[in-house]
Structure 1
Amino acid sequence: MGAALSPEAANPGSARPWAEVTDPELIVANLHRNYTGVSTTIGALLPLQAARHRLWLMGRPLPGGPSAHSLAAALAVSRRPPAGRPFRIWHVRRNVELQVAWLARDLLRLPIRIVFTSVALHTHSFWPRFLIARADAVIATSMRAASLRPNVAGIVPHGVDTGYFHPPADRGQEWAQARLPGRYGIGIFGRVRRGKGTDLFVEALLRLLPRYPDFTAVIIGPCKIRNRSFQATLIKRIAAANLSDRIRFLGEIEWAEVAAWYRRLSIVVAAARYEPFGVTILEAMASGAAVVATRTGNYEAMIEEGQNGFLAKPGNIEELVASLERVMSQPQRMQAMGVAGRQRATAMFGVETEAEGISKVYETLWQGGGR
């Protein structure tokens, strides 16, 4: 969701005792100054990876994570191979991290190998393509992403912590704690902007809420300055329809509250026009909510249409409205979809599966595979 978070509020594993590592075989990069979706992925994986590998987190600290080491410290420790391994692995997920790792390996001649996780579903411009081609191994998060990248060593979808994100004992009671109208909540998570389909979500609910008085909609996520006029226009439209009490912009919330909102909502929507992967739908499924998403990212792999949710064409408001109405019009089916989503998330998209898949790529490199 983006924000500076307190370690205690941001992650239930903040009290985890982390072993001190002086000779890491794995260095996980987190050089972005903001807390982003990539940060969430790294944070969820770190405890599982630390159980498998001697690791360092390099760059910005993460809530509940181990002590973070500086880039300078990572360069210094990487001047020699780690005990028992022919080289250290640097796992990077952003272009700037990939560039730093490439310079460390090829300019400074450090004995490291580079693993890059790629989620993008488009062809990159020249410089990112140049860098990605120089990774020793690329992990793609979907079949489509894999088809666009060289050096793909494995297809490992992102996973979700199904212990942290879990269904409530009573969703009705959870919703009541929100002190909002109606019996059911429907929400969208992420930055308020056109690319995320915030306007499509609002337009769909402007059409549907008058017909379904038991529902109230919430929009959870920050709005950057450049999108303030976009949000203001949506707020005016909502007010003109006399629905200001039933379509609420909640803004950015603390990470500890994100899981609570998933437990309150009966339906979670991802209306993006383009999405590289889409972890919010997995978090919603793990929390037992029915889901409606567009056919972008990895949503088609996550959603078994008619079982745990529905899909709509990106940017198509008519399909989005129809998909939402198929859920909203049948509360019992909506609840059954939430149960099916939880089962699917647990069986197919647990973060443990992601950690295992990544470790297999590491071991292949250490055993002599890769570029």
Structure 2
Amino acid sequence: MKILMIHDYFPNEAHGIYTHTHHLSKELIKRYEVEQLNVITPVTCVFDGRKSKNSDLPLSNYFYLPQQIKKKIDEIKPDIVHIHGTHPPYSLLPMIIKKEYKTIITLHGIVAIDSKNSIKNRLLLKNYWYGFLEKSAIKKADKLIAVSPAIKNIVEKKGATPSKISVIPNGIDIHEHENGRIIENLNHPSLFFIGRLVKQKGVDVLIKSLVIIKEFIQDVHLYIAGIGPQLKKLNILVKRLNLENNVTFLGHIQGEQKISYYKSIDICVIPSSFESFSFVTLEAMASGKPVVASNVGGIPYLVEEGETGFLFEPGNYHELAKKVIQLLENKELRERMGKLAEEKAELFSWESVTDETIKLYEKTLRG
């Protein structure tokens, strides 16, 4: 089976879609011939000594990209064209490809939701056009993969045929999270956030909750890992709330350092206003840590209230503080939730995700 992956994400483990396509390709190439079409980065991927054949296209030709991609597809003649995302120009591909090739789209997010993340984006006419193209792509594709039940429900409301949609989640490399080094000086009650510092991630909500948490647990400390346009505003907020001694901005961390923080902290907090799935939640669970997260999108698919963590209404920093205090004051509860979280994370191995994806490929080819 020859599989063509189409995505446009620069190699960066901090980006969820790149992580998904990288690990899925890594597993698939052990069993099939994988063509990975990367339209931004001229990077050839090597998996276990075997090279995937990248068919890179320069971003400078963005306007003509759909036609260029179609030309590449005709050269490669894949059995499956697997497209990751529905933003233009990829939303045009199912219409250009038509019925010549079997087409599957993985929906990592929805344009309509992404556009709501800022007032500026909501006012842009192009987002209505993007939404129209996305709806057309969803209709034309042979099969759709939703990374969570929440995305499946949204896509069905956009008119997709339910039988076309399969829920196949993101995965995790369980072994990477088994032996993280414990950071010795993290011997105080600690919270951890990791992600892009953008409004959607709700870091300001987490910082505001810290004022309440500090009233009950004075030496609590929040570690914020990530970079982004909100960094300056968040620093100002920390100073305004007199939390300089309780908050540390770590900048961008990855690899062993990231896993060490997961292993060393007490609680991971996900205060986002929306998440299609949430890699961070899964990473924290794989590290044996309880999660306190917003009750939105794909997060409840991972976090079971009172079992593997706690959920709170997005934006409600009073409720967030209450849940965090409950966990910080009860070590036995933290450890029990962490153990259950780790057990649940094992269900999301990349091997399992790849098995489900292959079943869908085979079903699609059978028609």
Tell me, what secondary structure is at the counterpart of 2:171? coil
Once superposed, what is the RMSD of the aligned Cα atoms? 2.6
Match of 2:260 in 1: 260
Q: Which amino acid letter does the alignment assign opposite residue 114 of structure 1?
A: T
Q: Give TM-score, length-normalised by structure 1.
A: 0.79
Superposed displacement of residue 119, structure 1: 3.5
Q: What corresponds to 2:191 in structure 1?
A: 186
- Aligned partners of 1:229, 1:174: CA distance in 2, in Å? 30
1:28 partnered with 2:10: no
Distance 1:138 1:126 in 2: 17
1:276 aligns with 2:304: no
Change over 3 Å in CA distance of 1:157–1:206 after alignment to 2: same
TM-fit CA distance, 1:327:
0.6
Name stretches of at least 5 consecutive residues in structure 2 with no aligned partner: 58-67, 114-130
For the Cα contact (< 8 Å) 1:187–1:265, is it kept in 2? Answer: yes
Q: Does 1:37 align with 2:16?
A: yes
Partner SS state of residue 22, structure 2:
helix
Structure 1 position 358, deviation (Å): 1.2
Instruction: List structure 1 runs of 4+ shifted beyond 3 angstroms.
Output: 60-68, 71-78, 119-124
**Distance in 2, Cα, partners of 1:253 & 1:68:** 30
> Could you say what secondary structure the match of 2:74 adopts?
coil
Deviation, 1:256, is 4.1
Cα separation, partners in 2 of 1:62 and 1:275, compared to 1, 3 Å: farther
Residues 1:57 and 2:32 are matched in the alignment: no
C-alpha offsets along residues 245-299 of structure 1, whole Å, 9 cap, x if unaligned? 3211111123442222212222101011122211110110001111110111222
- The residue that corresponds to 1:291 in the other structure is 291
Q: Does 2:84 match 1:99?
A: no
Q: Is the 8 A contact 2:196 2:226 kept in 1?
A: yes
Task: Look up the SS of the partner of 1:174 in the other structure.
Answer: coil
Map of 1:174 onto structure 2: 182
Alignment deviations for residues 5-46 of structure 1 (CA, whole Å, 9 cap, x no partner): xxxxxxxxxxxxxxxxxxx71011222346321001112222
Counterpart Cα distance in 1 of 2:200 and 2:6: 27
Q: Is this contact kept in 1: 2:92–2:137, CA < 8 A?
A: no
2:328 & 2:313 partners in 1: Cα distance? 19
Q: 1:201 aligns with which of 203, 206, 209?
A: 206
Q: Distance in 2 between matches of 1:200 and 1:339?
A: 27
**Given the superposition, is the C-alpha separation of residues 296 and 121 from structure 1 closer, same or farther in structure 2, using an over 3 Å criterion?**
farther
Structure 1 residues 275, 320: closer, same or farther in 2, change over 3 A? same
**Residues 29, 97 of structure 1: 8 Å contact kept:** no
Deviations 1:86-138 (A, max 9, x none): x52111112236336336514xx8x4222111143685722221222221111
Asked if 1:158 corresponds to 2:153, the answer is no
Write out per-residue CA displacement over residues 153-195 of structure 1, whole angstroms, 9 at most, x where no aligned residue. Answer: 3111222111112365xxxx7131xx45x43431011111321
1:117 and 2:116 aligned: no
Q: Give the whole-Å Cα distance in 1 for the aligned partners of 2:218 and 2:279.
A: 29
Identity of aligned residues (%): 22
**How far 1:362 sits from its partner (Å)?**
0.7
Q: Given residue 322 of structure 1, which amino acid in structure 2 is its aligned partner?
A: K
Q: Does 1:341 align with 2:341?
A: yes
**Letter paired with 1:120:** G
AA in 1 matched with 2:325: E
Instruction: Summarize the Cα distance change of 1:284–1:353 in structure 2 as closer, same or farther, 3 Å threshold.
Output: same
Which ranges of structure 1 fall in alignment gaps of 5 or more residues? 1-23
Asked if 1:69 corresponds to 2:46, the answer is no
Bigger relative contact order (CA 8 A; separation at least 6): 1
- TM-superposed deviation, 1:356: 1.4
2:64 corresponding residue in structure 1: none
SS at match of 2:291: strand
The residue type equivalent to 1:174 in the other structure is: I
User: Secondary structure, in 3 states, of the residue corresponding to 1:164?
Assistant: helix
Map 1:221-232; keep pairs closer than 5 Å: 221-224=226-229, 227-232=230-235
Partner of 1:134: 140
1:246 paired residue number: 246
Determine if the alignment matches structure 1 residue 146 to structure 2 residue 145. no
Aligned partner of 1:21 in structure 2 is none
**In 1, distance between residues paired with 2:79 and 2:72?**
9
